[in-house]
Amino acid sequence: NAGVTQTPKFRVLKTGQSMTLLCAQDMNHEYMYWYRQDPGMGLRLIHYSVGEGTTAKGEVPDGYNVSRLKKQNFLLGLESAAPSQTSVYFCASTRQAVSYGYTFGSGTRLTVV
């Protein structure tokens, strides 16, 4: 049982480049989330999805887009990367909105130069 898998684990981008981060879960979870973690800032919610085909904005959505075409996958896109998007990105999922806790992936460390 893999849980939540994030790819890639590390990436360096040049300013203005685009990329997609993939999150895959094999637990049949309905809800999925993308967070970014920066020193001293904790976990900040970027976008989330309450089911296949749905997406919604979180706390810091600017500069990011997401898609949930399949229930098991949640993609986070950066269309034109900026140095301010240098961060560690975490995906999480849970079965239902009444939370018994999110399951997190191991993160993607992104550096934009």
Partner 1 sequence: GQQLNQSPQSMFIQEGEDVSMNCTSSSIFNTWLWYKQDPGEGPVLLIALYKAGELTSNGRLTAQFGITRKDSFLNISASIPSDVGIYFCAGQNYTGANSKLTFGKGITLSVRP
Residues that bind partner 1 (CB under 8 A): 4, 33, 40-43, 45, 48, 50, 56, 58-59, 90, 92, 97-107
Q: Which is nearer to partner 1, 1 or 14 (CB)?
A: 1
Dig out the tokens for 2 from the structure: 């893999």
Residue among 17 and 95 whose Cβ is closer to partner 1: 95
Residue 69: CB minimum distance to partner 1, A: 19
- Nearer to partner 1 among residue 17 and residue 86 (C-beta): 86
Least distance from partner 1 to the Cβ atom of residue 65, Å? 19
Minimum CB separation of residue 104 from partner 1 in Å reads 3
